[in-house]
Amino acid sequence: MTDLQIETEYDAYYPGNEMVVTALWEFDQPPDSLELRLVWNTSGKGDRDLSVVQTVRIETAKSSGREQVTMKLPWGPYSFSGKLISLIWALELIAFPSEASIRKEIVIGPNASEVLIGAAKEA
């Protein structure tokens, strides 16, 4: 059995704030380590961009557990949606060596909300 979970207090955050993340896992065999990543990616027309902004390694010898991590959020780029492209922030939890993973999308932006551009505002 493999079970990974990411818990946060909120789904949307102000840039520059701190975010408390709880990583939970349960495996039949203990993973060597886990990695919690703060990433953003673009979605839409054109090339897809991806950036890993922060990585926290969790060393463990247990097949199940929980770890609370505090991450300082960057000042940008903001989460946004437009007619042609969107920028999406997410947390990813990856177990090694199996590379089992889970992803939780979050929003980082002014007023703790996504910026809507052009036609996305009208929708």
The number of folded domains in the chain is 1
Q: Any idea what the CATH number is for the domain that residue 19 is in?
A: 2.60.40.640
Residue 8 burial (C-beta neighbours within 10 Å; 0-12, 13-18, 19+): middle
- Model confidence over 3-38: pLDDT tens digits? 999 999 999 999 999 999 999 999 999 999 999 999
pLDDT at 61: 79
pTM for this structure?
0.92
Q: Which of the four pLDDT bands, split at 50, 70 and 90, describes residue 119? A: low
Domain span at residue 14? Answer: 2-122
- Model confidence over 55-71: pLDDT tens digits? 999 998 799 999 999 99
